[in-house]
Chain A
Amino acid sequence: MEQLETFIVESPDAVGAKTTRSLIMDTIADLSLSRVIGRLRVFVDPVEPVFIFAALLRLGTPSIKLKDFAKVDMGSLGKDEIKIEIDKEAFTVKLLNKLWARYGKENIEQPDKKVLIVKTDPIKELDAMRELVIEEPQQEVLDRLIDAIALRIIPEGFRVRKHELSMSHVLFVASEDTLKPEWLAKGKDMLESLRREENA
């Protein structure tokens, strides 16, 4: 899939639309969101005033758990310990930080580069440890996306806001005054038109 297949900024003010477009481009580049946003439509009317931002998202990999990149087993016989054999070293630092926070530094040994021994009760902890979430790329991306839209793109004076956020889309309607139902409906329409384009 291409990045930003649709990128439309509509406004009765042509110059404003052009500069808004360039500022959205800058923000997306700054926060490296270009691979995240698939299709994007913005409508601005400064006279009303209203700012609508609708986008379809491509969030990529879901959260990474310990069992996805390591073998988690009982340790040596008769000892209260869990042995973790890591396949992908890329996550070791994050894993260690999580383990230290949870079990304490003194309870974790690393006899080999790819082997970790955690001193804890294996019967109670084994399953929980397999499900331990090491990285949440989607959540991080969503945080950056909210930073981009709410704190950088939407004009600052537009303090009244309504938003919808899911793993597949984001919709922001913002204004200086009370939001009108027709703006919300327009936002929904814009999102629908993006979805139609996506499915076509």
Chain B
Amino acid sequence: MLEPIMYVGGVYKHNHLVELVEDLGGYILQKNVMQTEVVLLMLVPINDIAIVEAKAKELLGKLTRAPLTGSEIATVAPTLAYHHLPHLDCDVAEFLRKQGAKTNMVGLARGVGKRICQLTAYERDLINEHDVAVFILGNYEHCIIEKSKRLYEGIEIPVVVTGAPELRTEDVPNATAYVGNFGRILHHMRHSEELRTLDKLAEVIGKVLDDVRKEIAKDPPSIAPPRIKKEIEEQVQEIIDSLHPLPITLQLNGARVKLPYEEFHEMLENIRFVEGVTMKEVAQVLPSKMRNFILIKPRPKSETGFVI
């Protein structure tokens, strides 16, 4: 199992750490160099963390666990009106992005009201393509509870709900977790108290994602999603020219490739690994609901009988 870890340290000799992680069979997902500082988001095999820690100590850098790394999160607002945007929704999305997740904002067509809210089939399928959905709801306890009874119908991924009142998760129907102290806020969240609330949200989502990881580890995928990313980057030239943010977006159990499905799905299916298998043997290459992108879902070990 791979652990998501963030390294913050000096640029000097940071490539030693990069090479160590790659040699150990881990992956570097993102590298941001800011003047003399470097931030690395990486996945490290859980058994080798001690070696990486020792190296980080030698380089005087800091290692922290970043459970949001390598996940794709949908932040869902009831609509795209001024009631929810740009504050709060964007704040949440941006904060989670800083923690290493890729966030997509979804504005529902008919998500308003406690009695009249609904989710269209397309919205449901789109949200289901993510790892976690964060529903950003409003101020009133009664509305949050009533709305939760019907709004998340058909959503199979964990649902994290935010709102103003302090409720227990058990009180919010169909929710995996609930985070209070949010509500409908029409200003930029920058006070220390508000930032603590955002920290709490990141922590809760981290826990939810850890549970998902544990669940996946019970029947591991035949191929790790970061490996898919690495192979596509090495073998498909067109991905380099893609101008989309994160052309290959990692998910906990899959990857979204931002290339047109019709043109590229055969090429991706026929990618050959050094182990001698092709992509279509270890993963399904599916059309994504998001534009005409490609969604790759690894087949579980129980289906193929091997892990590469």
Q: List A residues at the B interface (Cβ < 8 Å).
A: 11, 13, 15-16, 18-20, 22-23, 26-27, 30, 44, 46-47, 49, 151-152, 155-159, 176-177
Contacts and interface: CB of A to CB of B under 8 A. Distances in A.
B113 A19 contact: no
Given A152-B186, A156-B113, A157-B114, A19 B164 contact: yes
17 contacts: A11-B140, A15-B165, A16-B165, A19-B139, A19-B164, A23-B139, A23-B184, A27-B186, A46-B140, A49-B143, A155-B83, A155-B112, A155-B184, A156-B81, A156-B83, A157-B114, A157-B116
Contacts of A158: 113
B93 to A, nearest CB: 19
A159 B115 CA distance: 12
Given A13-B165, A49-B143, A156-B113, A19 B79 contact: no
Contacts of B184: 19, 23, 155
A176 to B, nearest CB: 5
Nearest to A18: B164
A151 B82 contact: yes
A174 B117 CA distance: 17
Contacts of B113: 156-159, 176
8 nearest A-B residue pairs (beta carbon): A157-B113, A46-B140, A19-B183, A26-B186, A157-B112, A16-B140, A156-B112, A46-B142
Given A23-B186, A27-B186, A152-B186, A15 B141 contact: yes
A69 to B, nearest CB: 36
Contact of A152 (B79, B83, B164, B185): B83
Given A23-B184, A152-B186, A156-B112, A47 B142 contact: yes
Contacts, number: 80
Contacts of B166: 15
B126 to A, nearest CB: 21
Contacts of A157: 78, 112-117, 143
Query: By CB atoms of chain B within 10 A, which of A16, A30, A44 has the most?
Result: A16
A151 B81 contact: yes
Interface in B152-168: 164-166
A157 B138 CA distance: 11
B24 to A, nearest CB: 48
B13 interface: no
Contacts of A16: 139-141, 164-165, 183
Given A155-B138, A176-B116, A19 B185 contact: yes
A130 to B, nearest CB: 41
B187 interface: yes
A70 to B, nearest CB: 39
Query: By CB atoms of chain B within 10 A, which of A22, A30, A156, A158 has the most?
Result: A156
